[in-house]
C-alpha cells in the first residue's frame, strides 16, 4: 500500500472499518435540563453548553468524526455560531452520520461510558440506546452505554460536571 501523507486524498484506500475515540465534559448548573443520550433525565441541574450540552452525544460524534478523519464537532458545529446555539445534539449526531457517509462509511458500533456521581443513569440506558440507535440508523444492540462514578474524586466526584468517553467503529458501506 502506498504511503500517502494527504489524509483527505481521494487516492487513499477506504479501509473496511476504522475506529475513533471521543471525549466530552460539561459543567453542571442550575436552570438547565439534563439531556444525556438524547433523552431528558429528571435532575435538579443540567449541563452548561452552547448547544443542549449532551456530553454523551458529543463524545460519540467526536468518535465517529475521528474514525473518518473528519476533525471534531467543534470544527463542524462551532460554539461561536448562532446556528448551533441551543441546538438539539441529536441533530448534530444525525449530521455527523451523514458526514461520515460522504466518505463511504456507516456506524458499525459504539461503546460509550458516562461518568457521573448523580443522578444514577443505569435505569435510563435502554432509552438512551434506543434513541441513539434511531438517530444513527443502526440497531440498538450496536450502541453500548455504560455508567460509572469516579468514587467522589475530581470534578465529577464533586458533582461539578459530567464527562463521557466513546469509541466508535465505522464500516464501509
Reported as a single tens digit per residue, the pLDDT across 105-142 is 999 999 999 999 999 999 999 999 999 999 999 999 99
Extended beta strands in 30-150, E state: 34-36, 39-41, 46-47, 105-115, 143-148
- The CATH superfamily assigned to 19-172 is 2-C-methyl-D-erythritol 2,4-cyclodiphosphate synthase (3.30.1330.50)
Burial class (CB in 10 A: 0-12, 13-18, 19+), 144: middle
Predicted local distance difference test score (pLDDT) of residue 16? 93
Q: Residue positions in the annotated binding site for a divalent metal cation?
A: 24, 26, 58
Predicted local distance difference test score (pLDDT) of residue 5? 40
Predicted local distance difference test score (pLDDT) of residue 15? 76
Sign of CA dihedral 89, 90, 93, 94: negative
| Domain boundary assignment for the chain | 19-172
Q: Residue positions in the annotated binding site?
A: 24-26, 50-51, 58, 72-74, 148-151, 155, 158
Low-confidence ranges of the chain (pLDDT < 50): 1-6, 9
Amino acid at each position: 500500500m502506498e504511503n500517502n501523507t494527504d489524509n483527505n486524498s481521494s487516492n487513499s484506500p477506504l479501509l473496511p472499518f476504522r475506529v475513533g475515540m471521543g471525549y466530552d465534559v460539561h459543567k453542571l448548573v442550575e436552570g438547565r435540563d439534563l439531556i444525556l443520550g438524547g433523552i431528558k433525565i429528571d435532575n435538579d441541574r443540567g449541563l452548561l453548553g452552547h448547544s443542549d450540552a449532551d456530553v454523551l452525544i458529543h463524545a460519540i460524534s467526536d468518535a465517529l468524526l475521528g474514525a473518518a478523519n473528519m476533525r471534531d464537532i467543534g470544527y463542524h458545529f462551532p460554539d461561536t455560531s448562532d446556528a448551533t446555539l441551543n441546538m438539539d445534539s441529536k441533530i448534530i449526531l444525525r449530521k455527523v452520520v451523514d458526514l461520515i457517509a460522504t466518505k463511504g462509511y456507516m456506524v458499525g458500533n459504539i461503546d460509550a461510558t458516562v461518568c457521573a456521581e448523580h443522578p444514577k443513569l443505569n435505569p435510563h440506558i435502554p432509552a438512551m440506546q434506543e434513541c441513539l440507535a434511531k438517530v444513527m440508523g443502526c440497531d440498538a444492540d450496536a450502541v453500548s452505554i455504560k455508567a460509572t462514578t469516579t468514587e467522589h474524586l475530581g470534578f465529577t466526584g464533586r458533582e461539578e460536571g459530567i464527562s463521557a468517553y466513546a469509541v466508535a467503529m465505522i464500516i464501509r458501506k
